[in-house]
Amino acid sequence: MVKSRLYIGPNLDTPGLTTELQGVDASGQNVQLPVVSEKAVTIFLNNQEIVTAMTLGDYLEELAVGFLFNQNMITKQDKIEQIEYDEELSVIIVRTDRKTNFEEKLQSKIRTSGCAQGTIYGDMMDKFESIVLPKKTTISTSQIINLSRKINTTPSLYLKAGAIHGCVLAVADEPMIYMEDIGRHNAVDKISGVMFKNKIQANDKVFYTTGRLTSEMVLKTVIMGVPILISRSGFTEAGVSLARMAGLTLIGRARGSKFVALSGNERIIFDANTNASEQINEQRSVQGRFNDA
């Protein structure tokens, strides 16, 4: 990886992210199973309570800032003066130099299909409709395959305990930021928060998610300004419609050397022999099984 690129990845040693619980397996034998944590954290913007999110409990500053940015409650022009976290009360407060009041808007919020806690849809649409995504950024089929392979083999809480979503910001096939959470929207917001705090430009980036490609995923990707969104999962009709409206490259069912693109095909460079790649992967799988025998 290029040294000048920021990289944040899952830290499996962070205390409190998983708990070992005892159970029995299908044969009745006792087993110890790592189970991911789930915590309620309330986000305030200045003096206003905004939302209570069920979250894994790490990168809370990034989660709060990213959520507020993606909801169009703060902008790139806003200056964050302080972020306070009270662990005992499970409250995080983001303070800006600009007075804010979202009481009326919060009363009419629309819940989306996001896990655990939804999205204030109207404000996001206002921001979404004003964004023009860059057209020059491209990704090749070989880069899509490489990126998927790197993400799927990175040590993660998903591989350790499951029941969790992962999201990655990348440059071509090189991961920059890898975040996980019990809700895919939280993982997106964490990445958005890292981008906001570090002033990371989005125009040449690729976003990868393990979750399905819903309207919420598309909205947040476009609001962050990322032109390419990839998932190993499938699509919703609303997600595809919004992607086509915004000119977002939307790639789903990305597994092995296979994928389907339903929007923004012009950014994809078809440079890989996917049939040959499938044959190589199958040969490696067979060889692995032979070596294990």
What contacts 24+ positions apart, CB below 8 Å, involve 48-51? 48/100, 48/101, 48/102, 48/103, 50/102, 50/106, 51/117
Domain count within the chain: 2
H or E element at residue 84: strand 80-86
Q: Is residue 143 part of a domain?
A: yes
Whether 277 contacts 255, CB under 8 Å:
no
Residue type, 128: F
Q: Is residue 90 part of a domain?
A: yes
Residue 123 and residue 206 in one domain: no
For the chain, the maximum distance between any two Cα atoms, rounded to a whole number of angstroms, is 66
Whether 268 contacts 172, CB under 8 Å:
no
Q: pTM for the full model?
A: 0.85
Q: Is residue 291 part of a domain?
A: no
Task: Tell me, rounded to whole angstroms, the distance of Cα 204 from its chain centroid.
Answer: 17
Q: What pLDDT, on a 0 to 100 scale, did the predictor assign at position 123?
A: 65
The CATH code of the domain that includes 214 is: 3.40.140.10
Q: Is residue 218 part of a domain?
A: yes
Q: What pLDDT, on a 0 to 100 scale, did the predictor assign at position 112?
A: 42
pLDDT in tens, the chain (293 residues): 344 467 888 788 888 899 999 999 999 999 999 999 999 999 999 989 999 999 999 999 999 999 999 988 999 999 999 999 999 999 999 999 988 777 556 654 444 434 444 445 556 777 888 899 999 999 999 999 999 999 998 888 888 888 889 999 999 999 999 999 998 899 999 999 999 999 999 999 999 999 999 999 999 999 999 999 999 999 999 999 999 999 999 999 999 999 999 999 999 999 977 654 454 454 444 344 334 44
Residue 225 and residue 273 in one domain: yes
Q: What pLDDT, on a 0 to 100 scale, did the predictor assign at position 11?
A: 81
Please give the Cα distance from 160 to 19 (Å, whole number): 11
The CATH code of the domain that includes 111 is: 3.10.20.10
Residue 75 and residue 158 in one domain: no
